Structure 1
Amino acid sequence: MPRRFSRPLLRLAAAGLLGLSAAGCVIGEEFRHGYVIDEAAVAQVKPGISAEQVLQLLGTPSTVSTVGNKSWYYISQNTKRTVMFLGERQQDQRVLAVYFNQGFKVERVAIYGEQDGRVFDFISRTTPTSGGEQAFLGQLLRGLTRFEPFRNAQ
């Protein structure tokens, strides 16, 4: 008699173990990449302060402009992975932009992100006008997530 009960019990234990191991793979994880925007530090960056003061308040920028106006960009990205071992999906991306004048004093500050699929400035609550700056910000917000280095490689 004990032998008859051991097979169904063994199958039940195996199914339970398989179910528990599969449930461990469905845990969602959230990740923060890049610069974490500190609202208190951003509030201290006022027009007229020097680039050195900006470095002390915000730290080293993620990237700087090399052509045209002098701008520093701090890039922050939040991603989420719903299933273990699969790729991450972007949830939110923000770009803190600090614009300088010719004397390397802060001219203005903006935090860009996407709202309803369009580039949006969360400080002035406006959508930037067309031009080189918007194209660059659009590339930062959209292009980085679609980077496929081996797509055309054969």
Structure 2
Amino acid sequence: MSGTFDYRAQTVLVTGASSGIGAAFASALAARGADLVLVARRAERLESMAQELRGAHGVRVECVPCDLSHPAAASELQKAVADRGVRVTSLINNAAIGSFALFADSDPAGLAAEIAVDVAAPVQVTAAFMPQLMSAGTGFIINVASVSAY
């Protein structure tokens, strides 16, 4: 691990972990020794990733399928993590939905889900896990956002 950070003392919760940037974060952190809580809607993909990361790096990986567009998602996620006996020390808010249409042509329910996942969920998930993050005394929060959000 020369030249890299050692994350063996970390348990990192990663939303949007089933593909893309979230999967890349999970792989990089597992390679550096971090235990993980992988969160996304696709349970099968999460389990496949978890098996791969456990085998390659010997880290603990918990999978929590969760649709962050639901209003109670953050509290349900917090309970699911607690039920597994996991103490989260770091958080990566990476889950996102993107739409590419004129507002007049957009489905209002789809826009509401996009706002729930892209805006409300990072705030709610961070608030749900903040006591654990603070008590750990180490760790980090990363909020991934698109330039198009601005």
More RCO (CA 8 Å, sep 6+): 2
The structure carrying a bigger helix percent of its residues is 2
Structure ID, larger Rg: 1
TM-score by length of 1: 0.25
The structure carrying a bigger strand percent of its residues is 1
TM-score by length of 2: 0.25
